[in-house]
Amino acid sequence: MTHSLLARRRRTLLAGTAAGLLVALTACGGEPGTSSGSDTAPAEEATVATLYGDIAVPADPQRVITLAEPALDVALALDVTPVGTTASRGGDKAPAYLGDEAAEIPIVATVQEPNLEAILEAEPDVILAAAGLEQAQYDALKEIAPTIVPERPARGEWEAPLHTYAEALGADDELTEALDAIDERTAALKADGALEGTAGVVRWMANGPVLMNSTNMPGVLLTDSGATALQIATDLGDRPHSDPLSLENLTEVDADRLFLAAFGADGKGALEAASSQPAFTRLKAVTNGDAAEVDGSVWSSASGPIAAGLVLDDLEAAVS
């Protein structure tokens, strides 16, 4: 990309509309990342099926931006370090569970909104966006680089968007191997039988606990490992979690085994305060020593092969 083209795009983005950006690109007479009149042969491409149709991407993208936590999880699992990513929910860096490598990746978006100027500066070959990204944001991003938006998956099909990201990175076979290893671990837990009985994932926040939908990734891994979801968790439909529960209503999550996912410092404080209350201590999982505190950033909002491996680490530790 030439300096003058980059400057022209930056001025257009700062003007504030994707339409203006499109006009600028058309005036330049080229696609993002190319200079007008170049005799260079186009790089080999691959085609990825997305929410917005089939998208051509470089066969071996070198500069990747991830605008969704699962996309970042997939990229790092496939040994791809993005040149930009989104901040975690409530944070200013990538999710802590992804380690120091992720923490050093420049932040170019929040969960709510991409920073188009920062994304443009990064000169990406491809952008991996959140499943179901709305049209307006997609229209702005696609003028910077090919943008991959997976279709929003049906409940329980947490792996589907991951394959879309991996296809864009030219590494779906490697992702399949990683997910097959996850399946082998859940099958071993199920064969062992130690997780039989009811189980629930409860996210603790400052305003109280919520029961997570059994079709979220951790819930699916639990049932695949031999546990039975609470009926209230299976009845949530498309809702990711229940309404906040009062301490008096904790009996609604009185499972044989509980995984308590405190979210943020306030959530940890609320869980600590609740843990001494009779309504909490009477839960059978607590009474029997089968209530485990787990990482809220992994168990309540993450989805990807790295996060899935950490959930299984916790499940294996719970029954060891």
For residue range 220-246, list pLDDT tens digits in order.
Answer: 999 999 999 999 999 999 899 999 998
Q: For residue 191, with 0-12 CB atoms within 10 Å meaning exposed, 13-18 middle and 19 or more buried, which class applies? A: exposed
Phi, psi of 66, rounded to the nearest 5 degrees: -115, 125
Q: Where are the beta strands (DSSP E) in the chain?
A: 45-50, 53-58, 64-66, 84-86, 107-109, 126-128, 147-148, 198-205, 208-211, 228-229, 257-262, 291-295
- pLDDT higher than threshold 60 for residue 30: no
Percent of the chain with pLDDT over 70: 87
CATH architecture of 183-318: 3-Layer(aba) Sandwich (3.40)
- pLDDT higher than threshold 90 for residue 200: yes
- pLDDT higher than threshold 70 for residue 37: no
Q: What is the pLDDT of residues 64-80, one digit of tens each?
A: 999 999 999 999 999 99
Nearest to 110 by CA among 126, 94, 134, 131: 94
Pairing mode, if any, of strands 64-66 and 228-229? Answer: unpaired
Sheet with 107-109: list strands edge to edge. 107-109, 84-86, 64-66, 126-128, 147-148
Q: What is the pLDDT of residues 115-133, one digit of tens each?
A: 999 999 999 999 999 999 9
Nearest to 70 by CA among 117, 130, 113: 130
Please, are residues 160 and 151 in contact by the beta-carbon 8 Å criterion? yes
The span from the CA of 161 to the CA of 229, in Å, is 24
CATH number of 43-170: 3.40.50.1980
In degrees, rounded to 5, the angle at the alpha carbon of residue 297 between the alpha carbons of residues 295 and 300 is 90
Domain with CATH 3.40.50.1980 in the chain: 43-170, 183-318
The span from the CA of 131 to the CA of 149, in Å, is 5
Give residue for tokens 């993002």: 32
The span from the CA of 141 to the CA of 26, in Å, is 15
Q: What is the pLDDT of residues 148-179, one digit of tens each?
A: 999 999 989 999 999 999 999 999 999 999 99
**Whole-prediction pTM:** 0.85
The span from the CA of 44 to the CA of 154, in Å, is 32
Q: What is the pLDDT of residue 19?
A: 41
